């Protein structure tokens, strides 16, 4: 570090009134009282959730909010996930539990037999979404996530697919779907040009 | 010892090994697929090519030869100078990698080899991010080539390691390369699936994800697994293995290099010999016979109870107490148990446990042996009994003495993965008044037992086995003991009157002090870091 | 996704409770249910009211109830005021304007798991919250709530005092009880077997001991003026003369006010429970009703402190034109009571306002304010008042005010000339002399 990088700050000298402290207190009380009696401020700032939601005011950036997860479906209505475990590997909270199995479809190698997310453990960081090679797992703008038991808050595959059904109109699936990821080779150009007809 | 110069660095190497092996042993990361120290050299993958100094044909001066040489096929000779760190070598690796990736599918996310795949690793180090291939990829089919193995032909790099393994090590020659050029692929002969006693090794041999184990298929990604060094208990040679497991339990067993026993390979028995660890019917609580049958008992109260009952039995007739040391026990456990019982009943008879034998020893062409004796520690038990002296006898004698009613109290340890008692044995042992049975699973002895203690599998304990050749090898604990059970060593440690944690190392020191044989634990060499 | 917890039934219950009419009707019904039997039985127990032994006990019971209830209301008021200063609404879900929130809070405290951590000193751990609450409550014994009252059925000329105990040591009793109050906090911190709790308790001790000094000095100045330590006499004197002691001794009032903040552990003197440094301070390990007792104790302490200050400086129940010492009718008593409560409520609100205005002091600042600020000022004040008393001018308003003014000017000069940096940074440290090896 060079000498000119160092800025020496002098401690500000207080005036006699400031030393006495009382005028400052009165000043503070004045501010406090001003806020106490300003009903207008209060009405502007505070929102009475749940009667008055952010959606209601149209301010929530739906595409950006990181709420409950969903598992996307491909155009054929099958789960898009290929059970590659990338999300559970990326997950810093270890809240994703996957059991893979051989897929019943000829164009796919693996698929998730079980896919559980512990929504209570999740920290909603969105790493799973970034890790997913097929854009199957996504976070939705749905933030009203409540349950009465812990077991209820572990979302299984069916529930996550149902969340997709509920939110697909609000937030469509981000990237074009890739369906032949496994056996058929999944060449990189397929990802870029999803609508090219492919031979299986 | 020949000395060679690799990349300007002088390296001393074992005589007669290829330059590639010398470089790997010196810690260099030289890409290679087809070379394997246990197999014949074919120099087909062309990844390990190097530059070599040779006499110039005209001037006879030493100069870098314009051609590249396969380092796997060039024996290291004294004074030789080679280099891997040159533009020509790097260009070669880059081009060969691009060639390998022409037809290779980009399905790493669903490929089970991902994470331990050398195509992945080398591509990251030497490959390029984009493919220049404009044509359709060659898509070879997925084949079911045997009861345990799947072949994903499109992922294959045709290193032919699996083919050579079947030719040389197992001697069964099931696999072949068929077709030529870009259509070349591995296949079996019609009607002759890959089905020999060593076939699982081709999965580890395969540097890419072409050959996969059906057991492990889709179970886990490899980076979620933890690895522990262990010894296989399935036969008396004590093959060195790695146990791959995570919090859900064991997922697979892989061979561990051991130059004196199994080299790079293990038998399929050892590979799949862990299924009993996760069987549902494992014993999981100690039980003591009361007025209405066996009732669960707390672990804390058992040692004192057993010591008292065994001492009582010893008071009646001096040699009426028997301990049957199973060859499934580790040396430390056998030692502790024998000491503990001799402590309260000094005249107790030590019996060697039942030794299961299946068929005959099988020797494979290059000397790999699968033993008929299916227990890991017969020699160890015999050594301990011999050392401790007093009354010792074998399993047959035990059955004879038990059926004649001479034995009043017996501590019988099992721990075998399969059913091991014949009906005669059960009838004979049933004569014993106070019978303590320690086993993994409920057996026919349960109804005769006064005390039933759960044992744990070898993956849940630590210790050492002495193999059939007298080689002492140690194994480490992988899993925590099943809930409700206690590691055998820990229980014997407490039975012997100790307080605290059982540490195999401590007991080993004590044993070594008494019997020098036990000081000589064999630890195999580590393979070079970048060898595979 | 439909919210599960906020379903129609919950919403309906909530809306019903939030209807002010429902609340008023409920209050009327419940009040009538309590008052009607009291009214009907009145002839049978009215002799208790005129009995000089039983009346203080009734006052005690009623006041205990009132104080404990008022602490609950205080918590609501505090939360409301906090919200308003921060431009929020505060609790407004339970009942109209959140008025039923204290009930919800109380219910919650009862339903919480009562955890006693392992390795705590159990008897002391149990005792500490009780001590904290009790010491705060017994201070009420000497408060002269509404002067004398003459019930219509009593013989002419006889009166009873609306005071639990008329002690001849009066204010000294209050000082003693106030010093005891720190025990609850120190023991709680000590017994918790938690270093943060322990720090909190230790801080509280040092703070209390320090601030009792200026408190005592300032009170002495007032006692010199009043000539008695009986609070009822002090209030009576102020009521008859119409001159509250705050006019005679404004500086004394200021010192007592600051010290009361410190004694009640309120911001800006709540170092014993400084969340940022000490987790929760002395009550980190407390939960459920034990924590609630600490909580109640804190608020009861505020109410007690306010009541004492009202008695000493603000004429107790006296209000010009509304009340007089001569009026001993029971209607007069009720008016006096309400005047007293109004004054106390104003003080409590002031306490809360300050809490949301001033940040917490650092510990060295806390100590400097006491030892370098309040203690010298208190000593000077005591000396000045003593001089006035010696001259016989203590009831002369102008002389007292003049003395206070002189002190204020002296303080101003002192602070203006002081060169100690307020941040407490040592500017010129002496160079360290290193001894040759």
C247 part of contact set with chain A, CB < 8 Å: no
Among C27, C46, C186, residue whose Cα is nearest residue C103: C27
Scan residues 450-469 of B and list those with Cβ closer than 8 Å to A: none
B143 part of contact set with chain A, CB < 8 Å: no
| Domain tally, chain C | 1
Q: Is B307 helix (H, G, I), strand (E, B) or coil?
A: helix
Beta bridge partners of B474: B464
What local confidence, expressed as pLDDT, does residue A59 receive? 57
Cα dist. B267→B175, B197, B262, B363 in Å?
18, 6, 9, 11
Please tell me the distance from the alpha carbon of residue B218 to that of residue B363, in angstroms, as a whole number: 33
Class in CATH terms, B3-97: alpha beta
Place C71 in a pLDDT band, splitting at 50, 70 and 90.
confident
What local confidence, expressed as pLDDT, does residue A182 receive? 43
Among B215, B289, B309, residue whose Cα is nearest residue B451: B289
pLDDT tens sequence across A102-127: 888 887 888 999 999 999 999 999 99
A-B CB pairs within 8 A amount to 49
Residues of B in contact with A185 (CB under 8 A): 105-107, 137, 139, 154
Residues of A in contact with C87 (CB under 8 A): 35, 38, 41-42, 45-46
- Chain B nearest-CA distance from A147, in A, is 28
What local confidence, expressed as pLDDT, does residue B437 receive? 94
Class in CATH terms, A69-183: alpha beta
Place C121 in a pLDDT band, splitting at 50, 70 and 90.
confident
Contact by Cβ (8 Å): B482, B320: no
What local confidence, expressed as pLDDT, does residue B118 receive? 93
Place A186 in a pLDDT band, splitting at 50, 70 and 90.
very low
- Residue A189, pLDDT above cutoff 70: no
Q: Is B129 helix (H, G, I), strand (E, B) or coil?
A: coil
Please tell me the distance from the alpha carbon of residue B238 to that of residue B235, in angstroms, as a whole number: 6
Q: Is B241 helix (H, G, I), strand (E, B) or coil?
A: strand
CB contact under 8 A, B107 and A109: yes
Contact by Cβ (8 Å): C289, C132: no
> Average pLDDT of C52-71?
86
> Average pLDDT of A142-166?
89
Facing B218 at nearest CB: one of A102, A186, A187? A102
Which residues lie below 8 Å from residue C174, measured CB to CB, with a gap of 6+? C139, C142, C231, C308
Place C383 in a pLDDT band, splitting at 50, 70 and 90.
very high
Q: What are the residue ranges spanned by the domains of chain A?
A: 69-183
Which of A183, A184, A191 best tests the B interface by mutation, with the highest count of B CBs <10 A? A183
- Chain A nearest-CA distance from C78, in A, is 12
CB contact under 8 A, C415 and A45: no
A142 part of contact set with chain C, CB < 8 Å: yes
Beta bridge partners of A79: A73
Residues of B in contact with A183 (CB under 8 A): 107, 142
Specify the DSSP class assigned to residue B258: B
Structurally, at CATH architecture level, domain B105-126+133-224 sits in: 2-Layer Sandwich (3.30)
- Chain C nearest-CA distance from A38, in A, is 8
Facing B110 at nearest CB: one of A89, A182, A187? A182
Q: Is B322 helix (H, G, I), strand (E, B) or coil?
A: strand
A131 part of contact set with chain B, CB < 8 Å: no
What local confidence, expressed as pLDDT, does residue C424 receive? 55
**Contacts within 8 Å (CB) and 24+ apart, B133-137:** B133/B102, B136/A199, B137/A185, B137/A187, B137/B102, B137/B103, B137/B105
Please tell me the distance from the alpha carbon of residue A192 to that of residue A176, in angstroms, as a whole number: 9
CB contact under 8 A, C84 and A35: yes
Give the strand pairing for B149-152 and B175-178. unpaired
Residue A175 phi, psi (nearest 5): -100, 160
pLDDT tens sequence across C271-329: 877 777 887 778 888 888 888 888 888 888 888 889 889 988 988 888 887 777 777 78
- Residue C1, pLDDT above cutoff 80: no
- Tell me if C38 is assigned to some domain: no
A59 part of contact set with chain C, CB < 8 Å: no
Helices (H), B345-473: 378-388, 395-403, 423-429
Average pLDDT, chain A: 79
As a whole number of Å, the CA-based R_g of chain B is 28
CB contact under 8 A, A186 and B105: yes
C357 part of contact set with chain A, CB < 8 Å: yes
What local confidence, expressed as pLDDT, does residue A58 receive? 54
Please tell me the distance from the alpha carbon of residue C157 to that of residue C166, in angstroms, as a whole number: 19
| Residue A27 CB coordination number (10 Å) | 12
Q: What is the largest CA-CA distance in chain C?
A: 94
Give residue C410's region: left, alpha or beta (phi > 0; psi -120 to 50).
alpha
End-to-end Cα spacing for chain A: 64
The sheet that has B211-213: what strands, in order across it? B142-144, B149-152, B211-213
Q: Is B354 helix (H, G, I), strand (E, B) or coil?
A: coil
| C contact chains, 3+ CB pairs < 8 A | A
Among C359, C98, B246, B209, residue whose Cα is nearest residue A48: C98
Work out the angle between the directed axes of helices C375-391 and C397-417 (0-180°, nearest 10). Answer: 150
A-C CB pairs within 8 A amount to 66
What local confidence, expressed as pLDDT, does residue C248 receive? 87
Q: Do chains C and A touch (3 or more CB pairs under 8 A)?
A: yes
What local confidence, expressed as pLDDT, does residue C412 receive? 81
| Residue C247 CB coordination number (10 Å) | 15
- Residue C234, pLDDT above cutoff 70: yes
- Residue C378, pLDDT above cutoff 50: yes
Question: What is the token pair recorded at B525?
Answer: 């060499």
Question: What is the token pair recorded at B459?
Answer: 């993956």
Which residues lie below 8 Å from residue A196, measured CB to CB, with a gap of 6+? A189, A190
| B contact chains, 3+ CB pairs < 8 A | A
Please tell me the distance from the alpha carbon of residue A84 to that of residue A132, in angstroms, as a whole number: 8
Please tell me the distance from the alpha carbon of residue B81 to that of residue B6, in angstroms, as a whole number: 6
Please tell me the distance from the alpha carbon of residue B230 to that of residue B143, in angstroms, as a whole number: 32
Which residues lie below 8 Å from residue C164, measured CB to CB, with a gap of 6+? C56, C57, C59, C60, C63, C140, C141, C142, C143
Which residues lie below 8 Å from residue C434, measured CB to CB, with a gap of 6+? none
A106 part of contact set with chain B, CB < 8 Å: no
Average pLDDT, chain C: 85
How far is C-alpha A184 from the geometric centre of its chain's CA atoms?
32
- Residue C425, pLDDT above cutoff 80: no
C222: containing domain: 115-415
A185 part of contact set with chain B, CB < 8 Å: yes
- Residue A35, pLDDT above cutoff 80: yes
Residue-level pLDDT, tens digit, chain B, 532 residues: 899 999 999 999 999 999 999 999 999 999 999 999 999 999 999 999 999 999 999 999 999 999 999 999 999 999 999 999 999 999 999 999 999 988 888 888 889 999 999 999 999 999 887 778 878 787 788 889 999 999 998 899 999 999 999 999 999 999 999 988 878 889 999 989 999 999 999 999 999 999 999 999 999 999 999 999 999 999 999 999 999 999 889 999 999 999 999 999 999 999 999 999 999 999 999 999 988 889 999 999 999 999 999 988 888 876 788 999 999 999 999 999 999 999 898 888 899 999 999 999 999 998 899 999 999 999 999 999 988 877 788 898 889 888 888 888 999 999 999 889 999 899 999 889 899 999 999 999 998 999 999 999 999 999 999 999 999 999 999 999 999 999 999 999 999 989 889 999 999 999 999 989 999 999 999 999 999 8
- Residue C426, pLDDT above cutoff 70: no
| Residue C318 CB coordination number (10 Å) | 26
Cα dist. B136→B100, B154, C261 in Å?
15, 13, 83
Give the CATH number of domain B287-519.
Answer: 3.40.50.740
CB contact under 8 A, A16 and C416: yes
More confident of the two residues C363 and B252: B252
What local confidence, expressed as pLDDT, does residue A195 receive? 40
Please tell me the distance from the alpha carbon of residue C249 to that of residue C218, in angstroms, as a whole number: 9
Q: What are the residue ranges spanned by the domains of chain B?
A: 3-97, 105-126+133-224, 287-519
Place C423 in a pLDDT band, splitting at 50, 70 and 90.
low
More confident of the two residues B192 and C419: B192
Among C258, C171, C244, residue whose Cα is nearest residue C210: C258
Please tell me the distance from the alpha carbon of residue C426 to that of residue C406, in angstroms, as a whole number: 32
B137 part of contact set with chain A, CB < 8 Å: yes
Contact by Cβ (8 Å): A76, A43: no
More confident of the two residues A102 and C418: A102
Contact by Cβ (8 Å): A160, A72: no
What local confidence, expressed as pLDDT, does residue C116 receive? 85
What local confidence, expressed as pLDDT, does residue A196 receive? 40
Residues of A in contact with B106 (CB under 8 A): 185-188
Residues of A in contact with C416 (CB under 8 A): 16, 19
Question: What is the token pair recorded at B389?
Answer: 């002296």
């Amino acid at each position: 570090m060079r000498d000119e990088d160092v800025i020496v700050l002098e401690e500000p000298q207080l005036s006699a009134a400031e030393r006495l402290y009382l005028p400052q207190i009165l000043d503070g009380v004045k501010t406090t009282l001003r806020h106490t009696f300003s009903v207008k401020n209060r009405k502007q700032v505070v929102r009475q959730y749940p009667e008055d939601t952010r959606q209601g005011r149209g301010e929530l950036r739906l595409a950006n909010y990181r709420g409950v997860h969903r598992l996307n479906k491909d155009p054929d209505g099958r789960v898009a996930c290929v059970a590659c475990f990338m999300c559970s590997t990326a997950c810093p909270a270890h809240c994703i539990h996957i059991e893979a199995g051989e897929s019943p479809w000829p164009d796919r190698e693996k698929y998730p037999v079980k896919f559980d997310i512990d929504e209570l453990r999740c920290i909603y960081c969105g790493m799973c979404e970034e890790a997913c090679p097929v854009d199957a797992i996504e976070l939705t703008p749905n933030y009203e996530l409540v349950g009465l038991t812990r077991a209820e808050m572990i979302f299984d595959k069916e529930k996550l697919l149902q969340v997709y059904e509920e939110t697909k109109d609000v937030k469509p699936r981000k990237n074009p779907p890739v369906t032949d990821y496994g056996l058929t080779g999944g060449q990189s150009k397929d990802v870029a040009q999803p609508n090219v007809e492919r031979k299986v | 010892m020949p000395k060679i110069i690799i990349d300007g660095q002088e390296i001393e190497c074992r005589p007669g090994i290829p330059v590639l092996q010398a470089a790997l042993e010196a810690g260099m990361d030289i890409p290679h697929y087809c070379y394997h120290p246990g197999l014949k050299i074919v120099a087909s993958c062309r990844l390990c090519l190097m530059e070599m100094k040779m006499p110039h044909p005209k001037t006879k001066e030493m100069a870098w030869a314009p051609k590249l040489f396969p380092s796997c096929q060039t024996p290291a000779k004294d004074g030789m100078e080679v280099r891997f760190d040159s533009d020509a070598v790097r260009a070669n690796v880059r081009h060969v990698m691009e060639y390998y990736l022409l037809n290779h599918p980009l399905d790493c996310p669903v490929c089970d080899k991902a994470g331990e795949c050398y195509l992945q690793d080398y591509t990251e180090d030497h490959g390029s991010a984009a493919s220049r291939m404009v044509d359709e990829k060659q898509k070879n089919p997925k084949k079911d080539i045997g009861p345990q193995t799947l072949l994903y032909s499109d992922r294959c790099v045709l290193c032919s390691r699996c083919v050579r393994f079947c030719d040389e090590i197992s001697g069964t020659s099931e696999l072949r390369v068929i077709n030529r050029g870009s259509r070349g692929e591995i296949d079996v002969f019609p009607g002759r699936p890959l089905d020999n006693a060593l076939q699982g090794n081709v999965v580890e041999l395969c540097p890419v994800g072409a050959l996969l184990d059906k057991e492990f298929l889709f179970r886990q990604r490899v980076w979620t697994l933890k690895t522990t060094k262990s010894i296989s208990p399935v036969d008396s040679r004590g093959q060195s293995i790695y146990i791959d497991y995570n919090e859900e339990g064991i997922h697979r067993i892989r061979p561990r290099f051991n130059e004196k026993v199994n080299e790079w390979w293990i038998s399929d028995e050892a590979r799949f010999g862990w299924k009993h660890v996760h069987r549902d019917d494992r014993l999981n609580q100690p039980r003591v016979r009361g007025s209405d049958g066996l009732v669960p008992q707390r672990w804390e109260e058992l040692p004192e109870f057993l010591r008292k009952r065994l001492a009582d039995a010893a008071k009646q007739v001096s040699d009426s107490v028997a301990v049957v040391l199973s060859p499934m026990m580790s040396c430390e456990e056998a030692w502790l148990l024998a000491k503990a019982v001799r402590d309260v009943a000094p005249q107790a008879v030590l019996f060697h446990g039942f030794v299961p034998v299946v068929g005959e020893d099988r020797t494979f062409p290059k000397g790999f042996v699968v033993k008929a004796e299916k227990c890991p520690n017969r020699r160890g038990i015999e050594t301990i009994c011999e050392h401790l002296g007093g009354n010792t006898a074998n399993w047959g004698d035990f059955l004879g003495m038990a059926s004649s009613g001479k034995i009043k109290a017996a501590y019988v340890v099992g721990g075998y993965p399969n059913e091991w008692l014949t009906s005669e044995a059960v009838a004979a042992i049933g004569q014993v008044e106070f019978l303590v049975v320690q086993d993994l699973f409920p057996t026919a002895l349960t109804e005769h037992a006064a005390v039933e203690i759960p044992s744990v599998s070898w993956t849940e304990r630590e210790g050492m086995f002495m193999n059939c050749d007298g080689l002492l090898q140690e194994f480490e604990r992988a899993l925590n003991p099943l809930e409700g059970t206690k590691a055998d060593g820990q229980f014997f440690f407490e039975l012997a009157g100790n307080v605290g944690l059982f540490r195999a190392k401590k007991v080993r020191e004590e044993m070594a002090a008494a019997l020098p044989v036990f000081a000589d634990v064999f630890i195999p060499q580590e393979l070079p870091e970048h060898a595979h | 996704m439909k919210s599960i917890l906020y379903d129609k039934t919950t919403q309906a219950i909530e809306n019903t409770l939030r209807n002010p009419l429902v609340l008023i009707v409920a209050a009327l019904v419940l009040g009538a249910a309590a008052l009607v039997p009291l009214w009907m039985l009145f002839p049978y127990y009215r002799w208790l009211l005129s009995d000089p032994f039983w009346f203080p006990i009734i006052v005690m019971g009623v006041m205990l109830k009132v104080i404990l209830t008022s602490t609950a209301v205080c918590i609501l008021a505090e939360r409301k005021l906090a919200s308003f200063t921060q431009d929020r609404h505060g609790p407004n879900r339970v009942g109209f304007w959140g008025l039923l929130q204290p009930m919800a809070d109380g219910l919650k405290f009862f339903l919480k798991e009562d955890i006693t951590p392992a390795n705590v000193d159990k008897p002391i751990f149990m005792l500490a919250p009780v001590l904290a609450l009790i010491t705060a409550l017994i201070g009420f014994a000497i408060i002269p709530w509404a002067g004398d009252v003459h019930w219509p059925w009593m013989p002419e000329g006889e009166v009873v005092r609306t005071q639990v105990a008329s002690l001849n040591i009066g204010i000294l009793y209050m000082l003693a009880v106030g010093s005891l109050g720190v025990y609850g906090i120190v023991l709680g911190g000590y017994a918790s077997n938690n270093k943060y709790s322990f720090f909190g308790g230790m801080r509280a001790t040092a703070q209390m001991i320090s601030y009792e000094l200026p408190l005592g000095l300032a009170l002495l100045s007032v006692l010199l003026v009043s000539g008695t330590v009986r609070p009822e006499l002090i209030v009576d004197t102020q009521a008859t003369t119409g001159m509250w002691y705050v006019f005679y001794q404004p500086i004394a009032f200021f010192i007592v006010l600051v010290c009361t903040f410190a004694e009640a552990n309120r911001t800006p003197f709540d170092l014993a429970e400084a969340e940022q440094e000490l987790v929760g301070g002395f009550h980190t390990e407390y939960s459920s009703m034990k924590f609630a007792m600490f909580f109640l104790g804190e608020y009861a302490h505020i109410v007690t402190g306010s009541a004492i200050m009202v008695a000493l400086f603000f004429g107790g129940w006296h209000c010009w034109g509304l009340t007089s010492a001569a009026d001993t009718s029971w209607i007069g008593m009720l008016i006096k009571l309400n005047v007293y409560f109004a004054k106390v409520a104003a003080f409590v609100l002031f306490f809360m306002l300050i809490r949301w205005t001033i940040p917490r002091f650092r510990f060295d600042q806390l100590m400097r304010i006491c030892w370098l600020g309040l203690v010298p000022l208190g000593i000077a004040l005591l000396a000045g008042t003593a001089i006035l008393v010696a001259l016989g001018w203590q009831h002369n308003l102008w002389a007292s005010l003049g003395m206070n003014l002189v002190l204020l000017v002296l303080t101003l000069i002192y602070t203006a000339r002081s060169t100690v940096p307020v941040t407490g940074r040592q500017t010129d440290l002496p160079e360290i002399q290193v001894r040759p090896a």
